[in-house]
Amino acid sequence: MSTNPVVHVDNLALHFVSADSVVEALKGITLNIGPGEVVGIVGESGSGKSVTALNMLRLLPRGKTKIPHGAVSVLGRDVLAMGEKELQKVRGGEVSMIFQEPMTALNPVLRVREQMFDVILRHQKITPAAAEKLSIQLLQDMKIQDAERVFNAYPHELSGGMRQRVMIAMAFSCQPKLIVADEPTTALDVTVQAQILNLLKERAKATQTSVMLITHDLAVVAQLCDRVYVMYKGKIVEEGVTRDVIGDPQHIYTRALLNALPEGKTPKSRLETVAAAMIEGGDKVAATPITASAQAGFTQFGRAQPLFEAVNATVRYAKKYNFFGRPISYNTAVDHVNLSLYEGETLSIVGESGCGKTSFANSIVGLVPLAEGELRYKGKRLQDHDEITRREVQIVFQDPQSSLDPRWPIWRIMTEPLTVGKTPGRSELRETAEGLCQLVGLDPRSIDRLPHEFSGGQRQRIAIGRALSVHPRLLLLDEPTSALDVSVQAQILNLLLDLQEKYQLSYLFISHNVAVVRHISDRVAVMYMGKVVESGTAEQVLTNPTDAYTRTLMEAVPTLERAFAAA
């Protein structure tokens, strides 16, 4: 390592203080980032990784935080001793930041032009003409083909990947010495994620900029970082060269984190959860034998009647209207899809955003009408939506923030489907809710709480509980784990597998996460531009894809294995 680190944090502790409590967010951490180095900081939500980065720029309110001991220096200067004026120069000038959500980080009412000018002119003394030239150059460096168009576009006219490229271009605009990237690709599709990560790495190497990458995704770290720090509950539990740390983890927590990844595990086995590992302190091997349901699923292909069937299902959205408000042209979101799903089986639909997988799910539950074709449930037309099919087909949404009414206590949320058509008593409903809580692994005493008092994983459990309240046979799972941390994801996947085994549920699992799909599915269908391009058993589709698009998709997935092969 270099003698002059860009960032040096020495035995830093940080507490959040309020009138009635003290939260120890950092408990004495030491880290270094050298010039031109890409360093990953891995940990779950609440491990202190964001706090470390924010404190480096003194962005945490001073009244609410206390630093009992430790030192932070950026480019050899003591950040803790700096005044607000000096800090302003460091922020955005010498150190810049990339955020997770490119949609919220860009101002929707200003064009990219104005936003880039704002940043460039604030930190550099150049003419607007020169700034324009520089901006376009920066966008071209981000491999944006039509840089001129993007430069004059509003954020909503750009795709998520394009927005993130603009953010990165802006981050590089003032020749920073260090870029702090906070989960820069979590909100993006896999193929886009791969491009963005490569760009970030390339630009960093080309300009000799150091990168501090904050993430919970070990596969991303493996692909991008030279060195890695693993954080757990405010401490750095392990550090070292990426290859060593991931290839031969020393600390229990790192091992637990790796074990929680579905990648490389026996499909349908229970994943080891981090919490369990930390309590037991041992490193039990996670893989238990294949569950009965999985075997049942495999043997059922030959069976006569599928539980659910889609025949030439087509969904169209009106694109243009004529003078009288009648649609004259359409976008086809789902294009003649044929699929079938058997009792007790998990069928996954994989694809990137915009491929039509969510539209397909919405058509099954009746939120979107079918333009053509038919959906059948137990041989009956599903479009008719009679009482029984409506009960037996339930859905779990991706975002547990938006899927629970923030004003309702959870007993009311979980039992809402039971109030359809009849009015059971309050105590009866509460009792049912308690039972559902136990079923999905929540404390039955918490049924009077509001959704905001629960974590993301717990909220997803509540959503699953609501779906189960009416004893469904088929559960649509629309990206149920993509908003969650790896270890929480493992818990939810375990819960789903347990429930499937217990009740012989069928799952239609929609996801873009190939590792998760491989873990949970019996069969897989790959969707692209509204069509199913390939389908078959999970093993067959994900390991030996025959379709060109499927191959591209599989190659884009960041895996530990591939990262090491490349290194």
Binding residues for other proteins (CB under 8 A): 16, 18-21, 23, 25, 46, 50-51, 54, 57, 59-61, 63-65, 91-92, 97, 99, 105-107, 110, 115, 118-119, 122, 170, 182, 365-367, 387, 390-391, 394-395, 397, 399, 402-407, 413, 416-417, 419-421, 450, 452, 463, 466, 470
Q: Pick the closer one to other proteins by CB: 45 or 266.
A: 45
Q: Pick the closer one to other proteins by CB: 14 or 194.
A: 14
Q: Pick the closer one to other proteins by CB: 419 or 543.
A: 419
Q: Pick the closer one to other proteins by CB: 50 or 273.
A: 50
- List the structure tokens of 92: 């955005």
Q: How near is the Cβ of 215 to other proteins at its closest, in Å? A: 15
Q: State how far Cα 215 lies from the chain centre.
A: 11
Q: How near is the Cβ of 406 to other proteins at its closest, in Å? A: 5
Q: How near is the Cβ of 65 to other proteins at its closest, in Å? A: 8
Number of Cα atoms under 13 Å in the Cβ half of residue 43: 23
Q: How near is the Cβ of 414 to other proteins at its closest, in Å? A: 11
Q: How near is the Cβ of 334 to other proteins at its closest, in Å? A: 18
Question: H or E element: which one contains 275?
Answer: helix 274-280
- List the structure tokens of 458: 């717990």
For residue 73, CA distances in Å to 14, 55, 64, 76, 82 come to 15, 11, 21, 5, 10
Please state whether 470 falls in left (phi above 0), alpha (psi between -120 and 50) or beta: alpha
Q: Pick the closer one to other proteins by CB: 142 or 462.
A: 462
Q: Pick the closer one to other proteins by CB: 47 or 332.
A: 47
Interhelix angle 456-468/486-503, rounded to 10 degrees, is 20
Q: How near is the Cβ of 291 to other proteins at its closest, in Å? A: 28
SS3 assignment, position 184: coil
- List the structure tokens of 123: 């930190």
Cα–Cα distance between 40 and 408 in angstroms, integer? 40
Q: Are 522 and 298 within 8 A, CB to CB? A: yes
Q: How near is the Cβ of 307 to other proteins at its closest, in Å? A: 18
Q: Pick the closer one to other proteins by CB: 33 or 245.
A: 33
Residue 163 has a CB neighbour count (10 Å cut-off) of 23
For residue 66, CA distances in Å to 8, 13, 19, 74, 194 come to 19, 8, 13, 19, 39
Closest CA to 400 of 467, 487, 490, 332: 467
Q: How near is the Cβ of 138 to other proteins at its closest, in Å? A: 15
Q: Pick the closer one to other proteins by CB: 88 or 208.
A: 88
Q: Are 444 and 496 within 8 A, CB to CB? A: no
Q: Pick the closer one to other proteins by CB: 108 or 302.
A: 108
Q: Where are the alpha helices (DSSP H) in 343-485?
A: 357-364, 387-392, 410-415, 426-440, 456-468
For residue 17, CA distances in Å to 50, 66, 67 come to 17, 7, 10
Cα–Cα distance between 362 and 355 in angstroms, integer? 13
Q: Pick the closer one to other proteins by CB: 37 or 183.
A: 183
Q: Are 7 and 212 within 8 A, CB to CB? A: yes
Q: How near is the Cβ of 182 to other proteins at its closest, in Å? A: 7
Q: How near is the Cβ of 437 to other proteins at its closest, in Å? A: 18
Q: Pick the closer one to other proteins by CB: 82 or 287.
A: 82
For residue 413, CA distances in Å to 295, 400, 439, 470, 491 come to 34, 12, 15, 13, 22
Q: Pick the closer one to other proteins by CB: 394 or 513.
A: 394
Q: How near is the Cβ of 1 to other proteins at its closest, in Å? A: 27
Q: Pick the closer one to other proteins by CB: 36 or 417.
A: 417
Q: How near is the Cβ of 508 to other proteins at its closest, in Å? A: 14
Interhelix angle 486-503/292-299, rounded to 10 degrees, is 70
Q: Are 171 and 92 within 8 A, CB to CB? A: no
Nearby residues of 558 by Cβ (< 8 Å), 6 or more positions away: 190, 193, 194, 197, 217, 219, 220, 222, 223
Q: How near is the Cβ of 398 to other proteins at its closest, in Å? A: 8
